[in-house]
A and B are shown apart, each in its own frame.
Chain A
């Protein structure tokens, strides 16, 4: 059992509420393997202290991570990274991509946007996101 050493950045300028910023960053760290299964996460109180946010905020982030199956809590022991079925997660994401793409294709047809233009749009968006991060 290792100690969790993930970086969490809070952006006050972000439109995302703070609990969501924490949740998303821990989730991403779990998905990309930075946090491994059974790793002990910091307690909600320690996390709140270090990030200087309220305990309710960190508790909400953990509650949502638990609801989504990313972590599990053991009473009196703390919260641990839940073993992830990465294939299953990938499949879930693929389904989401498929659903969104169907939507995109529908709009593209309506607005008469070609495939090349769509690919161009994706590239531009990627560049913009890269700059933001």
Chain B
């Protein structure tokens, strides 16, 4: 049977001190880009560490590319690539050292040509040690390494946070190129999605260790709308329709469920960040 899901989590649970992640059930179909969003400390990085087997879960099952990760052979590990918020390589390595190291690490799976092309595309200097690389260059190198061993699943953990818009734009292009192959899947975790939001097929939202939803982005964004109302107008709205609100001295901004408000109420489009902020603040009230 053909493998259809890139990621399958079942009852995944992990306790770290006071923090409990899960139980999480999540299915990511292959061939798509998923935005994994949530506040700092919501459990995004913990999930990714569990996916990479850098940490063992207390309970539950993790299948990547159709196979339980505990049964992964070294060969299969090459199918998974990841980029973190920093490079974890010896600081005195140059590009040549990094390249040689990964050539040995990945053996036959290593694609020297792809790597060289990406390095050229990013304009990374070959006469400097990593120590002297800027934050953006480190991420670019990380991404180049991740894309150079034929991986089918790419995990990005806060990889583009704090980077300038031009570099983030390059990342967008690379992800879109990567996904041209329908066997490829991307999971991007971030507390801000900004430009990546445009290309994400699904949004998975994690809050305080719980997965609130995993939905197609288009449907998600179409469900809600934002508007400004007077306090009197707000009183007329069905309570169930109100996802979150920001009251101020001169009125109130609200995010509403479109299906539960009158059609003639004019609503503006929402962004994923709107949804995240209003949902979290709505819960606090």
Contact = CB atoms under 8 A, between A and B. Distances in A.
Interface of A: 15, 17-19, 45-46, 48-49, 52-57, 60
A56 B31 CA distance: 10
Interface of B: 31-33, 172, 176-177, 179-180, 182, 198-202, 216-218, 222, 269
A48 to B, nearest CB: 7
Given A17-B222, A49-B177, A54 B199 contact: yes
Contacts of B177: 49
Contacts of B172: 52
Given A17-B222, A48-B199, A56 B216 contact: yes
A56 B201 contact: yes
A13 B172 CA distance: 21
A35 to B, nearest CB: 23
Nearest to A12: B269
Contact of B180 (A17, A49, A54): A49
A18 B216 CA distance: 14
The interface residues of chain B, by DSSP majority, are classed as: mixed
Question: What 3 A-B pairs are tightest by C-beta distance, nearest first?
Answer: A49-B176, A54-B201, A56-B201
A57 B217 CA distance: 9
B207 to A, nearest CB: 23
A46 B218 contact: no
A45 B218 contact: no
A52 B176 contact: yes
A54 B200 contact: yes
A68 B119 CA distance: 46
Interface centre among B32, B177, B199, B269, by most chain A C-beta atoms within 10 angstroms, is: B199
B199 A52 contact: yes
A16 to B, nearest CB: 10
B218 A48 contact: no
Contacts of A57: 218
Contact of B218 (A15, A19, A49, A52): A19
